Amino acid sequence: MLQRRKPLKILLVEDDVVDVMGFKRALRKSGLECSFEQCSNGKEALELLKTKQEHDVPIVVSDLKMPIMDGITLLQEIRKDPRLQKSPVFILSSSDARQDVEMAYRSFATGYVVKPGDSAGLSRFLGFLKQYGEFCESP
């Protein structure tokens, strides 16, 4: 018998205020039961993640191009940290450039998603995260 999983935990790393508002709106509309935190750059996110207990690390959804520390550097720092390296990290970027996608996967991103142009696309992504949380076992 499957046990009910804990609510999903999402950390959005995004510097664009409009994108943050859109993500929050889509999250509310989705009815997805989750805890949500947001940082505006990779440095803030890494500092926050290092305060978490190993069993309490959220799914990280990070933009690619941000000031201070970009998404690829954040991903590489997470993968270097023994406590964080198994954390799921999805890149959610407006870039569909082949080199960005390849760099993310070479840095061991869990997935790379080009930002949808509408709220329906963002809702589908959130539905995917919900399914990911329901079906994938955490280490």
Tell me the pLDDT tens digit for each residue of 48-105: 999 988 777 889 999 999 999 999 999 999 999 999 999 999 999 999 999 999 999 9
For residues 40 and 132, what is the distance between their CA atoms, to the nearest angstrom?
Answer: 24
Q: Are 81 and 60 in contact, with CB atoms under 8 Å apart?
A: no
7 three-class SS? coil
Domains of the chain as residue ranges with CATH:
8-135 (3.40.50.2300)
For residues 95 and 138, what is the distance between their CA atoms, to the nearest angstrom?
Answer: 29
pLDDT band for position 37 (cuts 50, 70, 90): very high
Query: What's the one-letter identity of residue 57?
Result: V
Q: Encode 69-117 in three state secondary structure.
A: CCHHHHHHHHHHCCCCCCCCEEEEECCCCHHHHHHHHHCCCCEEEECCC
Report, in this order, helix, strand and coil percent for the chain, each rounded to 5.
45, 20, 40
Q: pLDDT digits over 104-137, tens only?
A: 999 999 999 999 888 888 989 998 998 888 787 7
Burial of 75 (0-12, 13-18, 19+ CB in 10 A): buried
Q: What is the pLDDT of residue 75?
A: 97
